[in-house]
């Protein structure tokens, strides 16, 4: 098992696609592995026969463990394992890089590349995302987008979705036999009356695991095992909240000028630029002026970051992910918005690369589309601060001697007190408030 993300320590075999005794060739899907962020297909790097499945579906394999053995028909799989050296790191490019075996052409399956990360693979078209199950636990928040697939579509594996499209099978008519009701390849084959899987069909990445659509479930007494992503989210946020002394600074922002600017920029555009892009751009400007906030705690040192690498919390079927727009201070709102749209779509299809959601220096979380006025969030390491955005709504505001209605948004900055002092956080929020209320100040 290789590490499919920077923080991955192990993964769960979600489903075996290949069977023992089955002949495979390079690119054939062998199994699907549920990591901390997505369920990804493992593809065979070589031609051979599946001699032994070492880790069964549902079992956890640590990074570096062997999950299966490929070899020649009749070859002693135990001898292959005995002579293999598990690899814990991603191999270099090439079909046999990092692969160990008694014969180089038939490796033990530790270092098989996932589809979405294979350096030589062509870009894959993402299947429609499964319906979203929004989570309320901070710092999770959707990026302001609605679910990209119709309601009623059950969670499904990448191969199942591909087979369903190829065979014109309606996923909404199926009851999944996989973990947590997940539709897997055998369900599609049964519905289509097929006995075999087309292993040559292109493979697509899938969302991070089974989702629980609480709005449609109704009240019931049920114990649902944690998905891999939910387990990781629980651990990381628990660690963050227990290790980092959080404190919070709040402000109410007059959004009239920024919303007028956004309307002017979007005039005549087929695809309007989202509010998140404007907020991230102006946040980057504030971080440039207050670099002490753009920092990371590293135990015996504080690392001050050279660029505003801002993450945006996005909800997935199984939890949340934080795509990162690098160096926002050097990009325009159009570029930021385009990157966000691309990464959010790929995040929801499971095709986001690990380096695209890691190492944010600052995070933004927006629950405003749900009508939430304000909320606090847990810091997303390695950053030391996270900014939450509430809904924009009209409020009565005193202007001179008059009371007027102004579109207002409430924000909260959660900070790590080990890195950021109260006065530093307050000065940053004051700067951000000034920039959001008068965007032209970012030009000064």
Active-site residues: which are they? 417
d(CA 129, CA 106): 35
Question: With b meaning 16 or more CB within 10 Å and e meaning fewer, what string describes 359-396?
Answer: ebbbbbbbbbbeebebbebbbbbebbbbbbbbbbeeee
144, 136 Cβ separation under 8 angstroms: no
């Amino acid at each position: 098992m290789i590490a499919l993300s920077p923080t991955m320590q192990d993964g769960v075999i979600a489903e075996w696609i290949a069977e023992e005794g089955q002949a495979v060739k390079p690119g054939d899907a062998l199994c699907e592995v549920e990591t901390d962020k997505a369920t990804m297909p493992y593809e065979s790097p070589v031609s051979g026969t599946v001699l032994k499945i070492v880790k069964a579906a549902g079992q956890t394999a640590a990074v570096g463990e062997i999950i299966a053995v490929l070899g020649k028909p009749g070859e002693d799989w135990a001898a292959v394992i005995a002579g293999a050296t598990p690899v814990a790191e991603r191999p270099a490019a090439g079909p046999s890089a990092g692969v160990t075996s008694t014969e180089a052409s038939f490796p033990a399956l530790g270092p098989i590349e996932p589809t979405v990360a294979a350096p030589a693979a062509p870009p894959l078209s993402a299947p429609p995302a499964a319906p979203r199950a929004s989570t309320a636990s901070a710092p999770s928040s959707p990026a302001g987008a609605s679910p990209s697939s119709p309601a009623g579509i059950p969670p499904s594996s990448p191969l199942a979705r591909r087979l369903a499209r190829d065979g014109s099978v309606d996923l909404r008519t199926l009851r999944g036999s996989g973990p947590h009701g997940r539709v897997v390849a055998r369900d599609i084959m049964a519905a289509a009356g097929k006995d075999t899987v087309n292993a040559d069909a292109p493979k697509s990445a899938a969302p991070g695991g089974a989702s629980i659509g609480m709005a449609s479930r109704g009240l019931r007494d049920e114990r649902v095992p944690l998905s891999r992503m939910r387990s990781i989210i629980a651990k990381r946020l628990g660690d963050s909240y227990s290790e980092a002394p959080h404190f919070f600074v709040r402000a109410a922002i007059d959004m009239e000028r920024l919303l007028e600017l956004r309307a002017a920029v979007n005039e005549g555009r087929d695809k309007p630029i989202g509010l998140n892009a404007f907020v991230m751009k102006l946040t980057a400007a504030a971080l440039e002026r207050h670099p002490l906030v753009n920092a990371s705690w590293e135990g015996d040192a504080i690392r001050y970051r050279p660029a505003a690498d801002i993450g945006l919390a996005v909800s997935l079927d199984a939890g949340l992910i934080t795509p990162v727009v690098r160096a926002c201070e050097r990009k325009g709102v159009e570029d930021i918005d385009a990157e966000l749209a691309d990464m959010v779509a790929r995040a929801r299809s499971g095709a986001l690369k690990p380096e695209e959601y890691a190492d944010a220096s600052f995070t933004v979380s927006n629950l405003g589309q749900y009508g939430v006025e304000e909320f606090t969030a847990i810091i997303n390491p390695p950053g030391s601060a996270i900014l939450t955005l509430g809904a924009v709504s009209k409020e009565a505001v005193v202007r001179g001697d008059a009371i007027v209605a102004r579109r207002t948004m409430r924000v909260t900055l959660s900070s790590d007190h080990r890195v950021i002092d109260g006065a530093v956080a307050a000065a940053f929020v004051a700067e951000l408030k000034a920039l959001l209320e008068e965007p032209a100040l970012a030009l000064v």
